[in-house]
Amino acid sequence: MADNEYDWPIFKRVGRRERRTELMMRRLGIDPLVLARLDNGEAVVRVQRTCFECKNGEACRRWLEENEQPIAQPGFCPNLEILRSCRRAAFWEEV
């Protein structure tokens, strides 16, 4: 096979979105175990699918670059509500 299938644009896009989702969860103080347990794991699938299909990728990238310590919630994020429900205790009291 001449082409490496992992160089296809869709694989790169999936990888970028996966990294952004993980970074967004860290920045927002999300407990990944709470998310994993929500709806018997279905919430994780919904979050990943929503991120992959999101039209706000550029806004997300900029927000992540500019907010190492979040001072504001990313209102553009379609996953914000479900992620907020999985936050670590007391994290959002500071934000």
pLDDT in tens, 14-45: 888 889 999 999 999 999 999 999 999 999 99
Residue 2 reports pLDDT greater than 50: no
Per-residue pLDDT band for 93 (boundaries 50, 70, 90) equals low
Q: Cα separation of 59 and 39, whole Å?
A: 28
pLDDT in tens, 46-89: 999 999 999 999 999 999 998 777 678 899 999 999 999 998 86
Q: What are the backbone angles phi and psi of residue 76, rounded to the nearest 5°?
A: -80, -15
Enter the pTM of the model: 0.76
